Structure 1
């Protein structure tokens, strides 16, 4: 009887772990398929030019650089001809960086141009994999409502982070203006004000 109860207890634990595993994968599935994307609504769009405007939280764009936070805002025009699209837009997002000079944190709005030429397909054509493609192929949602440009948005913002990161209030200033205490003239002044008792040491010539 004791062994049977222990067996039942172990069985219940395995059932619980199994349910937990299924639940986690269920949540993960919906997080990836329904949240982590930057969607453009394309269902029912007629051929021609259309105004577009979209806002997506940074955390919903997979592998977005950690410097970015808040909302990615996109505004521009989308031109459609058949299943081919041309996007001409501007996007912006806040980025938190560290100043190379003072090591202070500062926030700056990064603005980028988003110019994409692509076509949409429910299922990518494997026969074209060996051909050179002049335009990107963007997969659309199964219901045909959205085209996901998250990968393109992420790449554009990734290369738009400045290599040299200087806080706006220090740009265009000399080092002596930012750190006057380390200015060459002020250092010489401090040396000249050395106590007279140490003056003879200045005359010592060390070869």
Structure 2
């Protein structure tokens, strides 16, 4: 699944000769059947040129190995760095670390088609590919669903733990020792007490 970017015609925009993105062009026409290695260093202009509002800035490096054969290209991405996000709670800017590895298979065909998250078809006559779109997609998909500034994350974990606790129903067997501390009976969960009443017990 590819990320939908807020632009009216991303494909047309992406085909334009944009200086910040042309460095991600890879000429595949005439490549021999062997492995190739590419390294890219990206800054905030990468995200600016993509005209999206998910990521505001960033700096990262991409190490790409491309294995070419007569029928396909296998691309292995190793992306490390950080990207700038906006906190969903406070609207503050903060940096999110990224460290991910992804694989993409481009198979030669008579037409272009996306078959899944890892496989795409490209035409036999394709001269070059631009990997900027793939890099952005991998980064975007790796981001947390809820974007929180690091100072809020411990609070968020505690809130989630409390929510989980509220869903726990504690059961006490009648066979257990009845000589337990009387104070425990005084602090019975009201939800448990209500269930007891439904059973005709006080």
* Alignment TM-score, normalising by the size of structure 2: 0.51
Matched, 1:97 2:85: yes
Matched, 1:62 2:45: no
CA RMSD of aligned residues (A): 4.1
Distance change in 2, residues 1:93/1:33 (3 Å): farther
Larger helix share, 1 or 2: 1
Distance change in 2, residues 1:116/1:67 (3 Å): same
Matched, 1:84 2:68: no
Higher radius of gyration, 1 or 2? 1
Q: 1:160 aligns with which of 118, 128, 142?
A: 142
Q: Distance in 1 between matches of 2:147 and 2:34?
A: 41
- Structure 1 residues without counterparts, runs of 5 or longer: 1-28, 177-207
Q: Distance in 1 between matches of 2:132 and 2:125?
A: 13
C-alpha offsets along residues 4-28 of structure 1, whole Å, 9 cap, x if unaligned? xxxxxxxxxxxxxxxxxxxxxxxxx
- Structure 2 residues without counterparts, runs of 5 or longer: 1-11, 159-202
CA shift for structure 1 position 41: 3.9
Q: Distance in 2 between matches of 1:152 and 1:30?
A: 15
C-alpha offsets along residues 13-67 of structure 1, whole Å, 9 cap, x if unaligned? xxxxxxxxxxxxxxxx898432256323435432122222123541475354442
Aligned to 1:26: none
Task: Confirm or deny: 8 A CA contact 1:140 1:148 kept in the other structure.
Answer: no
SS of the aligned residue for 1:152 comes to helix
* Alignment TM-score, normalising by the size of structure 1: 0.50
C-alpha offsets along residues 152-206 of structure 1, whole Å, 9 cap, x if unaligned? 3332222222113233345446899xxxxxxxxxxxxxxxxxxxxxxxxxxxxxx
Q: Distance in 1 between matches of 2:30 and 2:38?
A: 14
Task: Confirm or deny: 8 A CA contact 1:138 1:148 kept in the other structure.
Answer: no
Aligned length: 141
Aligned to 1:42: 28
Distance change in 2, residues 1:140/1:40 (3 Å): farther
SS of the aligned residue for 2:142 comes to coil
